[in-house]
C-alpha cells in the first residue's frame, strides 16, 4: 500500500495568513493526488484534484502543487471558513489511501 504522510498534523494560524500543508507519498504517485477539506460533523469536500486542479466553486486562494512524492496545499490568505481539517488522498492505485489529516485552527 502507498503510505501518505501529512505535515504538520496541526497548525494554528490567523485570518489573512498564508499557510502551506505538505503531503508525502511513500512512492511516486505522479500527480494522482487529491485534497479534501472536512469540517466538524461534515463529510469531506473535494478541494483540489490531480495535484493542482481547483474544483469548481473553490476559492482561488486555494492552490496545490507537486508531483512524484511531494505535494503541497497552500491557502494564500486564510478566511474564517477555511479553518478545518485537510486530507490528502492518492488515486494512483488501490487501495486508495489518505494522509492522517492536518487540523487547521485559529491561533
103 scored as a contact of another protein (CB under 8 A): no
Instruction: CB nearer to another protein: give 16 or 57.
Output: 57
**100: contact with another protein by CB under 8 A:** yes
Neighbours of 37 (CB within 10 A): 22
Q: Residue 12's closest CA among 88, 89, 102?
A: 102
Asked if 102 touches another protein (CB under 8 A), the answer is no
Taking the complex as a whole, how short is the minimal distance between the CB of residue 73 and another protein, in angstroms?
15
At a CB cut-off of 8 Å and minimum separation 6, what does 17 contact?
77, 78
At residue 81, the 3 state secondary structure works out as helix
Which positions lie near another protein, rule CB under 8 A?
1, 31-32, 34, 36, 42-46, 49-50, 53, 55, 87, 89, 91, 94-101
Amino acid at each position: 500500500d502507498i503510505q501518505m504522510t501529512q505535515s504538520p498534523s496541526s497548525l494554528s494560524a490567523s485570518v489573512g495568513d498564508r499557510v502551506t500543508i505538505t503531503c508525502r507519498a511513500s512512492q511516486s504517485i505522479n500527480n494522482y493526488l487529491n485534497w479534501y477539506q472536512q469540517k466538524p460533523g461534515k463529510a469531506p469536500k473535494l478541494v483540489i484534484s490531480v495535484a493542482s486542479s481547483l474544483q469548481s466553486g473553490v476559492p482561488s486562494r486555494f492552490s496545490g502543487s507537486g508531483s512524484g512524492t511531494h505535494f503541497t496545499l497552500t491557502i494564500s490568505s486564510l478566511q474564517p471558513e477555511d479553518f478545518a481539517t485537510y486530507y490528502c488522498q492518492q488515486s494512483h492505485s488501490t487501495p486508495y489511501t489518505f494522509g492522517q489529516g492536518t487540523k487547521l485552527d485559529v491561533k
